[in-house]
Amino acid sequence: MEVTKKDIRALTKEELRAFFVSNGDKAFRGNQVYEWLWNKAAHSFEDMTSISKETRKMLNDNFVINHVKVDHMQRSNDGTIKNAVKLYDGLIVESVLIPAATRTTACVSSQVGCSLDCKFCATARLKRMRNLNPDEIYDQVVAIDNQSRFYYNRPLSNIVFMGMGEPLMNYKNVIKAIDKITSPEGLGMSPRRITVSTSGVPKMIKKLADDEVKFKLAVSLHAALDDVRTSIMPFNEKFPLDDLREALEYWYAKTKSRITYEYVIWKGINDLRKDAEALVRFCRFAPSKVNLIEYNPIGDDQFKQAGNDAISMYQDLLERNGITVTVRRSRGKDIDAACGQLANKS
């Protein structure tokens, strides 16, 4: 009978330790193997030179090490790098390296495709969907850290969960991946340099607060009036702004961590004064700041970036009300690597 071998990287350290004990070995062997898997990023049991040959064979008989592979890499004129990352089952996700003067940011995916249906996002058009495993998320970060060292002579400094998928719909695996990324046995990165972006799943935002996570939270708000938001992000019907507001108040009360709202202004959709006033009101619920992001066309006529007048109107109103606002330019547009453009095009 063909036995499907288990992915060894799905095991926690405790589980690995227990595995060795149940096989008549010492628990600390589990620590050694764990370090090979995570800290030293071993791709095969053969690589684990401090482990005896017999033990390596035993591991090989019982487990596989599933690693993602950068299948295709594109570099933008502005230095942004987009990776098509192949998973063990052949599916592809994308992750992006964004270099800036003093830092390098990795934008990573949490799902293949997405469970939500934002009308302006290319990823939402992909049908096929599964959650990424913790190691598949972790591997994207390792790959980008290597690219950052190779192309820009410095390690990766920041991570944003703004690639494909809705991180809070893959809660457990995202948390496990971040635990690995921040643990000294993994990459030892500070959680304050990690931002999880959500389109706003109230129950899960509360769970983040209860779990006392230390990373930052961004919310793709785009509209602070229910009818407008539902028309562009239909799941808002199920999770209306009142519920989102309540969850964000809860988040702030527990974490004292300021929330970032991501917001695109589209012509004829949310470019009126009443839209901006609603945003100001929403920002008052919990300490927050606003990133006005540029719209990246995804090949339809419904959505068009609003003009500079609308952007200035928002900016003035927010600033006059004491709310921090930044206007963000897109990166990597020429290779479809910008926000909302990730759809496995190449």
Contacts with 21 (C-beta within 8 Å, 6 or more apart), sequence order: 27, 30
Q: How many residues bind ligand SAH (CB under 6 A)?
A: 17
Residue 14 CB neighbour total at 10 angstroms: 11
The answer to the question of residue 197 lying near ligand SAH (CB under 6 A) is: yes
Task: Let me know if 262 is a catalytic residue.
Answer: no
CA distance 327 to 322: 16
Interface of this chain with ligand SAH, residues 218 to 237, rule: CB under 6 A: 220
The answer to the question of residue 298 lying near ligand SAH (CB under 6 A) is: yes
Residue 177 structure tokens: 């991946």
Task: Let me know if 94 is a catalytic residue.
Answer: yes
Among 293, 306, 318, 337, binds ligand SAH (CB under 6 A): 293
Which of 47-55, 194-202, 277-285, 315-323 is the region at the interface with ligand SAH (rule: CB under 6 A)?
A: 194-202
Q: What does the angle CA 134 – CA 95 – CA 93 come to, to the nearest 5 degrees?
A: 70
CA distance 233 to 87: 29
Bridge partners of residue 263, in order along the sequence? 292
Closest CA to 136 of 184, 85, 185, 197: 85
The answer to the question of residue 105 lying near ligand SAH (CB under 6 A) is: no
Q: Which is nearer to ligand SAH, 66 or 111 (CB)?
A: 111
Q: What is the x/- site pattern for ligand SAH, positions 117-156, by CB under 6 A?
A: -x-xx-----------------------------------
The answer to the question of residue 208 lying near ligand SAH (CB under 6 A) is: no
Give the burial class of 296: count Cβ atoms within 10 A of its Cβ; 0-12 exposed, 13-18 middle, 19 or more buried.
buried
Ramachandran quadrant class, 268 (left: phi over 0; alpha: psi -120 to 50; beta: rest): left
Q: Which is nearer to ligand SAH, 59 or 218 (CB)?
A: 218
Q: Which is nearer to ligand SAH, 166 or 275 (CB)?
A: 166
Q: C-beta of 63: minimal distance to ligand SAH in Å?
A: 32
Which of 27-35, 93-101, 197-205, 270-278 is the region at the interface with ligand SAH (rule: CB under 6 A)?
A: 197-205
Question: In which element (H, E) is residue 69 found?
Answer: strand 69-75
Bridge partners of residue 106, in order along the sequence? 97, 159
The answer to the question of residue 41 lying near ligand SAH (CB under 6 A) is: no
DSSP 170: G
Question: Residue type for 307, please?
Answer: G
Choose the catalytic residue: 118, 121, 283, 339. 339
Residue 203 CB neighbour total at 10 angstroms: 11
Bridge partners of residue 291, in order along the sequence? 262, 326
Q: C-beta of 298: minimal distance to ligand SAH in Å?
A: 5
Interface of this chain with ligand SAH, residues 156 to 175, rule: CB under 6 A: 162, 166
Choose the catalytic residue: 94, 136, 166, 262. 94
**Hey, which residues are catalytic here?**
94, 339
Binding site for ligand SAH (CB under 6 A): 118, 120-121, 162, 166, 197-199, 220, 262, 264, 293, 295-296, 298, 339-340
